[in-house]
Chain A
Amino acid sequence: MPAAVAVLDEPLDLGKDRIRWTRTRYHQLIDMDIVTERTELLDGDIIPKMPQNPPHRITLYFVSAWLETVFGRAFVQQQQSVELSDEDSEINEPEPDISVLAKPIPSYQSGNPPPDEIVLAVEISDTTIHKDVGKKARLYSRAGFPEYWIADVNKRQIIVHREPTDNGYTSIVSYSGEEEIVLLAKPEAKIAVSALFPADDAQD
């Protein structure tokens, strides 16, 4: 269960005085080729994205493929930035592994999809579970994303977050094994959790 995942406190030593970046500055760093690796901006910190190992990549593929059959390919985007609430936008620019949009991708020509047009956000999580359970859940909830999944590759479970509030999601339920998972936006679509992860013997 997600409650068992401890989000570590910030260290008391040097880290507390570290520089924080605004989104404007962050974009300048990228535009000027100072930050060249793939990153996200979370609460003013520049967070490099972890390289994807095979279980991560395969899970991303399975979850995306299923969401595309349910919503249509044009409504599902991978690793693109999304807008958050106004108060969080200044120092945050996350890129969910998958976001399901209310309108087809070509509709968003002038910017990122606004928060009220994100139907579902998904993070595929292995080494990044603390970030996904803690900081990102808070940001996505404050942005009002109605549903947020964490696909925990190590435990082969989906942690479903619903009922967003300004203080976080109030409904957090984990599903595993042959349990069926249902989409809030498409209640008729169902899939067994095990079908979203690579075969068991493929894992170490």
Chain B
Amino acid sequence: MPALLERESSAVERSIARKLWTIDEYERLSDLGFLEGSYELIEGEIIEKMGQNRTHINLIMFLTQWLLDVFGRDHVQAQGPVVITRETGKESKPEPDLAALNAPLSHYTKRNPSAADVALLIEVSDTTRESDLGTKADMYARAGFADYWVIDVQAEQIVVHRDPTAKGYGIVTHYAANHDVSPLAKPDAKIAVAALFPADDPE
């Protein structure tokens, strides 16, 4: 246990060493009904997923439709789990907002998609901005997800993470309004940042 205390690499710092859960324990808790609501396991911590506000819901719907157009129907997973290579003492089973898959969903009947199966990973971030850009970005990079986008609601940007390494993403680019962004796997497709954040809110 002291070894866990001394870990400094994790952004989930602990003033007091809490129990860290394994994927097996987490799945058992879920099966036994201990987890009411929506959770994910991030680096051994069971994290409650924040309730979605209207902006979040609208962005997810908008992006889902765009991803379906670009990657094809049956190639998009919403809020489903992806596999992260087990890391001792900080196992994870995240459920990213959106994942565009290389193979149709029918391909995944027995297992969850992992980095090799995912063309593009998206988290829509309002209240979870710090962890999506921090702990989760490092975690997805270590697991080798090639293209990770954070839709930063506060800054009205798309933050594109590429070149995953064991120490985090090598390239992190912030795209503000008046830019278009293309998925790594579909360089011909484009989404305008401005399209995600309409300038004039009718209210």
Contact = CB atoms under 8 A, between A and B. Distances in A.
Interface of A: 7-15, 17-19, 25, 28-29, 32, 34-35, 37, 39, 42, 45-48, 50-51, 127-128, 130-131, 134-135
Contact of A48 (B17, B34, B42, B134): B17
Binding site secondary structure of chain B: loop
Interface residues of B, number: 33
B1 A48 contact: yes
Given A17-B47, A17-B48, A135 B32 contact: no
Interface of B: 1-2, 5, 11-19, 25, 28-29, 32, 34-35, 39, 42-43, 45-50, 128, 130-131, 134-136
B19 A50 contact: no
B2 A18 contact: no
A19 B46 contact: yes
A19 B39 contact: yes
Contact of A11 (B1, B13, B25, B28): B13
B154 to A, nearest CB: 14
Nearest to A36: B25
Contact of A13 (B29, B34, B39, B135): B135
Nearest to A33: B28
Contacts of B46: 18-19
B28 A130 contact: no
B18 A50 contact: no
8 contacts: A8-B13, A10-B15, A13-B12, A18-B45, A28-B34, A48-B19, A51-B1, A135-B16
